[in-house]
Structure 1
Amino acid sequence: MDDRVLVFDGNCGFCTRSVGWVRAMDRRGRIRVRPYQEPGAPESIGTDAATCADAVQWQGPDGHRLAGAAAVNAVLDTVTGTRLPSTLYRATSGVQERVYRWVADHRGRFPGMTPWCQSHPEACAGA
């Protein structure tokens, strides 16, 4: 497997903006982003829509899946080409996961942009 996939909430403007930053930083195009509302997206990484609605999901090239702050750090490792984000995560995972959970629970209150599923309705059929 040589696929890196980030599955996010395509109905969230904050999430869509965050994915935009990831795409801008990923100049080599190593990460494929998919909203979990895209038919088959959750299943393609071995999970379901409810799990994806709870937290961002990352599947690395080895097929291993991470969620929440761990997923964010894996994405940052990929776009920066270093292991520094994951190294920092290992030392601060408890705090990072609590912050991630708070942000995820309040994501509708943060500034964002037009959600992915509104801008790309063909990608979010039935969502």
Structure 2
Amino acid sequence: MRTRPVLLFDGDCGFCTSCVRFAERRIAPDADLRPFQFEDLGSYGTTWERAEHEVVWITPDGRASGGVQGIAALLRHRGGLFGPVGVLLRLPPFRWIAHGLYRLVANNRHRMPGGTAACALPAHLRPGARRPAEPTGPV
């Protein structure tokens, strides 16, 4: 069993990677931030399709939160000044607004600073993509 939470993100996307590096510097979460392309997603109880669609926060006991709720979970876990922001992101109407903004950014990340044309492609179609044929663990 893992002792630290994990945030899975798209390591092929320059914008996503820049956001994660920013979080590492500014938020300093007590978690492992890993590109999903190099992980056994089945061992986390998630799928390639989900990880390709959104960041996924996995707690040590295996609970998963995706998208803006994954980010909110990271903020709540970090605590301090970030904790209340994470709580706020769980409450309507902030949850709805944040979800809409997350989808807008995620769907247009190839247009964002640091984004590349590869970000517009599904991860399994990118040059050098490594997609497992089937999950290797429980899903």
Distance in 1 separating the partners of 2:27 and 2:105 = 23
**Residue 59 and residue 3 in structure 1: after superposition, are their counterparts in 2 closer, same or farther (change >3 A)?**
same
What percent of counterpart residues are identical? 32
Q: Which has the higher contact order (CA 8 A, sep 6+)?
A: 1
Tell me what 1:103 maps to: 105
Tell me what 1:93 maps to: 95
Tell me what 2:16 maps to: 15
Tell me what 2:36 maps to: 36
Q: CA RMSD in A?
A: 2.4
Unaligned stretches of 5+ residues in structure 2: 119-127, 132-139
1:90 match: secondary structure: coil
Deviation at 1:90, TM superposition (A): 2.3
Deviation at 1:26, TM superposition (A): 4.8
Q: Does the 8 Å contact 1:25/1:79 carry over to 2?
A: no
Distance in 2 separating the partners of 1:10 and 1:79 = 22
Asked if residue 77 in structure 1 is aligned to residue 76 in structure 2, the reply is yes
Aligned pairs for 1:102-121 within 5 A = 102-112=104-114
Deviation at 1:61, TM superposition (A): 3.2
Asked if residue 52 in structure 1 is aligned to residue 51 in structure 2, the reply is yes
How many pairs were matched up? 117
Unaligned stretches of 5+ residues in structure 1: 116-123
Tell me what 2:67 maps to: 68
1:17-51: CA deviations, max 9, x gaps?
Answer: 01101211354x611011111141x2232011111
Given residue 112 of structure 1, which amino acid in structure 2 is its aligned partner? G
Distance in 1 separating the partners of 2:16 and 2:26 = 15
Normalised by the length of structure 2, the TM-score is 0.72
1:52 match: secondary structure: helix
Normalised by the length of structure 1, the TM-score is 0.78
